[in-house]
Structure 1
Amino acid sequence: MNRPFFYAAPLLAVVLFLLAPLADAHAAGSVLAVYNSGQAQVTESRVVTLPQGAAAVVFTDIPTTIDASSIRATAPDMTVEDIQYAYKPITAGNLLDAYLGKELSVILPDPSDANARILRKAKLLANADRPIFAMGKEVYVGSYEALLLPEMPKGLDAEPTLTLTTRSSVAGRKNVALSYLMGGLSWSADYNLTVTQSGKAADLDAWATVDNRSDHAFSGADLRLVAGDVQRAAAPKMLMRANAVMAEGMAMDSAPAPASEEAFSQYHVYDPGRYVSIPASGSKQVGLFSSANIPVKTELSSRFRSTPNQRAGKISQSVESALLITNTKENNLGKPMPAGIVRVFMPDSGGTKLLAGEAHIGHVAEGEDVRLVIGRSFDVNVERVQTSFQRIGKNAAEVGWRITVRNGSAESKDIKLMDAMSGQWTVLNADTPYMAKDAGTIEFDLKGVAPSAGKEGKVINYTVRFEY
């Protein structure tokens, strides 16, 4: 896909050289690859005018969350001899560190009047966990109202600077390709799954939410979204400013413009196919894909862990409500689904789409099943009572259970009961068919449990022997 070449607004970038006059510099677009893991790779073009020979190229408009060890710069007929990244922000701690061993003015509470303040001259002795002052022959460790510094100390930076020491064989304007890794940028998928009135199909809209907490804006970036878990070596923690996120909300009924997708190594890369601007502190939603008329199934299930212990009284079990989807082309889907949140909407009797629940999913490859647990059933409940307990020898016990399933709705319901067993176990008897799901679980698959309407409901009795 061809994109038009464009120039961004001029940067505060200066080219300071050793043997030639001052020249201009500005930026010309960027490629931004954002990863799920909270990092991004930036590749941008910075246009400079260089003299022949040595020069020091100083760039500003650099992210504070940059990984300085990853910075690389190239240009035709130019070599880079060294790269220097400098940023010591103006903070209270850094200001005080600059005045260690020096005298400042300290505003203190007046010990003789709780409502009054006094101004004292003091020498700053230390600034580790808190400032410590020398006032004459006394050392003061305590609270203070404010500190007055005589002037702004040198060596603190309002913004980061990147300095390239370059050597050019030919003078003139050059496109310097600048690339680096940075923190504070991440993305995740957000899905809207809207179930039809029949409850047997749904439409899926997938969005990518790019979250920027780096305080560095990107205007008209050529965006790439990399889905997958990329391994990186442990590194010193980068500075990150945790600002509030300002999300651009999308209407539930608005379908996203599709992004192109391709496999990359063991990951997937999404390209929106257009330039995207991302605020310095906020989020931007970008369309990934839409799929219509996806078959869905509703599953009610209840889980319990059975142990060789004696239990008394009734035990209530929650009943999960889940939607099941198979990610295949035959089901009108068949797309890699990056990790994120799926919000499920269902229509009421009047057709109004209401939130029925939401669930987190991991990365879902094509062909895999998706199980979305969206809540608990209001009408169906499961209760059990231990009907017998007998210790058999030192390391064995037989336990009997009665499980009662009640359906308070007006329609018959299917429900799966899954009992996880501990240790070595054998089902001695059961009045309802079951299947062994695995080495530690049995499942009762109950079809068409009729409405209870005051009746006892569906009852299951079984006995299991544990050996441990």
Structure 2
Amino acid sequence: MTRLKTGVLLVLFTLVFSHVPNIVQADGSGAFVAVYNSGRALVRETRVVTLPQGPAAVVFTDIPASLEPASVRAVADGMTVKDVEYSYHPITAGNLLDAYVGKELSVILPDPSDANARILRQATLLSNEGQPVFSVGNEIYVGRYEALLLPKIPKDFDAEPTLTLTTQSAVEGKKNVSLSYLMGGVNWHADYTMTLSKSGTTADLDAWATIVNTSGRAFKSADVRLVAGDVQRAPAPRLVRNKAVMAMESAPMDSAGGYATEETFSQYHVYSVGRYISLPADGSKQVGLFSATDFPVKQKLTSRFNSGPGQRNGKISQPVELALSFENTEMSKIGRSMPEGLVRVFMPTADGMQLLAGETRISHTAIGNEVRLVLGRSFDVTVERTQTHFKKVGKNSFEIGWKITARNGMSAPQDLTLRESFPASWKVLSADAEYTEADAGTIEFSLASLLPTKGTEGKIINYMVQIEY
């Protein structure tokens, strides 16, 4: 029995200290990375290890610090994993001071006899909660210090994370270990560039996926998939749902004309880059998703106001927003699922120079939906109002009258929509312009071809509404 135990210990010692360099693939490439737009990623890679027959401790290096230890899975033919240990105690100022609580160190303190001088004192670190507390001689010191000098780095600090598997192998030899895990520090989002034509009625759209990696772990020649959708994150990571994504690792790579290919996965969408790419340890990578050309767009000016029961004095200015809209359908030459992201819209000047006209974020937009982009506020089209009537006609009932003035300072006619929203129960008592009920709480006045009003009073609308709570 003694010889057997000694032999096992020697095997453990030999594997851990002699074969660690052979554990990681020589090129460190070929990983499968599924990036979710919630700030995490599923990684599956192959590591080559040399195992003895029987028990062994296998140490993996080049592991991301943002790894979720409970999600680790390791599989190889003829190998059984008994336990998994993740270790990372980085060298930071806070960790070093925590290790020196109760121990003596050197601290550079302000000299009490000279405000511009410093003194070196030996002190015992009593606590590192909030800020360091020192025992200096017979006194307790809490306050500013210039620097701390530590005699050495304590034990059990790691320069990088390590993952140790306790394994049992049926036979001796090299094995390809399939290692999968979830990690943080990797995210992606969509970036859209929309360019309007000179007429302003059509546009071109380029969609890009921006992958951001801040984990400190680089991935070379990786098969990258991008998962779009709101995937619920539970306290304990589960890999059951992710098996469908991992199975796509063996799918053939297809450039699809230089753009990512798309497919549905459960209630989400998955984009395959179509070629092997490298992700920097701290940086970003952009890949093309899709493009659309010469599709119809509409520009619309809208001014909104929420009319409450209060009494208002004086003139009230309200903004006029510029919005761009289009239908995400095949008939309109798009018909693609649009992941959430930032849309930048460029419009031409008189000489054809494209300038940024506005940018806004969109949420996940499925095929068949309208996309509405609020770009900014109009410079020349203005709206102001004055309350012309206010009367309490019941315990919780009010009559309110408004005079709205719309002006167009541009040289060409402009279409403008006024949206008036009301709380509780309401009814329009009178109005000198036609309106439509947009929904249960809103009416709209449509001012088609609002003429230039330089030197004139502008377009005036008067109406009265009764609001009851």
TM-score w.r.t. length of structure 1 = 0.90
Residue 242 of structure 2 is matched in structure 1 by none
Q: Secondary structure at the match of 1:101?
A: coil
- Equivalent position amino acid for 1:414 in 2: D
Residue 12 of structure 2 is matched in structure 1 by 18
Structure richer in strand, relative to its length: 1
Partners of 1:19 and 1:54 within 8 A in 2: no
Residue 453 of structure 1 is matched in structure 2 by 454
Counterparts of 1:274 and 1:347, CA distance in 2:
35
Correspondences of 1:262-301 after superposition (within 5 Å): 262-301=263-302
Residue 328 of structure 1 is matched in structure 2 by 329
Partners of 2:314 and 2:386 within 8 A in 1: yes
Residue 192 of structure 1 is matched in structure 2 by 193
Partners of 1:53 and 1:169 within 8 A in 2: yes
Aligned-residue offset at 1:235: 6.5
Counterparts of 1:20 and 1:142, CA distance in 2:
50
Residue 131 of structure 2 is matched in structure 1 by 130
Is 1:316 equivalent to 2:317 in the alignment? yes
Q: Secondary structure at the match of 1:335?
A: coil
Residue 397 of structure 2 is matched in structure 1 by 396
Aligned-residue offset at 1:394: 2.6
Structure 2, unmatched stretches of 5+, are: 1-9, 238-256
Aligned-residue offset at 1:214: 1.2
Residue 12 of structure 1 is matched in structure 2 by none
Aligned-residue offset at 1:325: 0.8
Correspondences of 1:424-443 after superposition (within 5 Å): 424-443=425-444
- Equivalent position amino acid for 2:44 in 1: T
Distance 1:414 1:75, change over 3 A: same
- Equivalent position amino acid for 2:97 in 1: L
Counterparts of 2:100 and 2:401, CA distance in 1:
77
Counterparts of 1:453 and 1:95, CA distance in 2:
71
- Equivalent position amino acid for 1:18 in 2: L
Distance 1:336 1:466, change over 3 A: same
Q: Deviations over 1:170-213 (max 9, x none)?
A: 22111111111111111110000000011010000000111112
Residue 243 of structure 1 is matched in structure 2 by none
Percent sequence identity is 62
- Equivalent position amino acid for 2:186 in 1: L
Is 1:408 equivalent to 2:402 in the alignment? no
Counterparts of 1:407 and 1:335, CA distance in 2:
37
Partners of 1:342 and 1:360 within 8 A in 2: yes
Q: Deviations over 1:85-142 (max 9, x none)?
A: 0000001121122222222222222222333332222222222222222233322222
Partners of 2:382 and 2:408 within 8 A in 1: yes
Partners of 2:24 and 2:61 within 8 A in 1: no
Correspondences of 1:54-453 after superposition (within 5 Å): 54-234=55-235, 257-453=258-454
Distance 1:418 1:112, change over 3 A: same
Structure 1, unmatched stretches of 5+, are: 1-15, 237-255
Counterparts of 1:20 and 1:396, CA distance in 2:
87
Q: Secondary structure at the match of 2:355?
A: strand
Distance 1:25 1:452, change over 3 A: same
Distance 1:397 1:141, change over 3 A: closer
Counterparts of 2:352 and 2:314, CA distance in 1:
43
- Equivalent position amino acid for 1:88 in 2: H
- Equivalent position amino acid for 1:63 in 2: P
Runs of 4+ with >3 A deviation: 19-23
Counterparts of 1:413 and 1:87, CA distance in 2:
63
Counterparts of 2:118 and 2:309, CA distance in 1:
71
Aligned-residue offset at 1:348: 0.7
Partners of 1:327 and 1:334 within 8 A in 2: yes
Counterparts of 2:163 and 2:131, CA distance in 1:
32
Partners of 1:20 and 1:51 within 8 A in 2: no
Q: Secondary structure at the match of 1:95?
A: helix
Task: Single out whichever of 383-392 and 177-186 deviates more from structure 2.
Answer: 383-392
Counterparts of 1:118 and 1:428, CA distance in 2:
83
Q: Deviations over 1:293-333 (max 9, x none)?
A: 11100011000011222222111111110001100000110
Q: Secondary structure at the match of 1:96?
A: helix
Partners of 1:412 and 1:450 within 8 A in 2: yes
Partners of 1:71 and 1:180 within 8 A in 2: yes
Distance 1:315 1:142, change over 3 A: closer
Distance 1:19 1:67, change over 3 A: closer
Distance 1:104 1:393, change over 3 A: closer
Distance 1:51 1:295, change over 3 A: same
Aligned-residue offset at 1:82: 0.5
Q: Secondary structure at the match of 1:89?
A: coil
Aligned-residue offset at 1:412: 1.3
Aligned-residue offset at 1:404: 1.3
Q: Secondary structure at the match of 2:68?
A: strand
Partners of 1:83 and 1:162 within 8 A in 2: yes
Aligned-residue offset at 1:439: 1.2
Distance 1:440 1:106, change over 3 A: same
Aligned-residue offset at 1:153: 0.9
Aligned-residue offset at 1:285: 1.0
Distance 1:309 1:132, change over 3 A: closer
Counterparts of 1:453 and 1:127, CA distance in 2:
70
- Equivalent position amino acid for 1:151 in 2: K
Counterparts of 1:394 and 1:141, CA distance in 2:
63
Q: Secondary structure at the match of 1:392?
A: strand
Residue 252 of structure 2 is matched in structure 1 by none
Counterparts of 2:126 and 2:391, CA distance in 1:
75
Partners of 1:71 and 1:179 within 8 A in 2: yes
Q: Deviations over 1:276-300 (max 9, x none)?
A: 1111111111111111111100011
User: Root-mean-square deviation (CA), in Å?
Assistant: 1.7
Q: Deviations over 1:240-299 (max 9, x none)?
A: xxxxxxxxxxxxxxxx93110000011101111011111111111111111111110001
Partners of 2:23 and 2:59 within 8 A in 1: no
| Number of aligned positions between the proteins | 434
Counterparts of 2:13 and 2:463, CA distance in 1:
93
Counterparts of 2:394 and 2:121, CA distance in 1:
83
Residue 245 of structure 1 is matched in structure 2 by none
Residue 6 of structure 1 is matched in structure 2 by none
Distance 1:235 1:73, change over 3 A: closer
Partners of 1:413 and 1:449 within 8 A in 2: yes
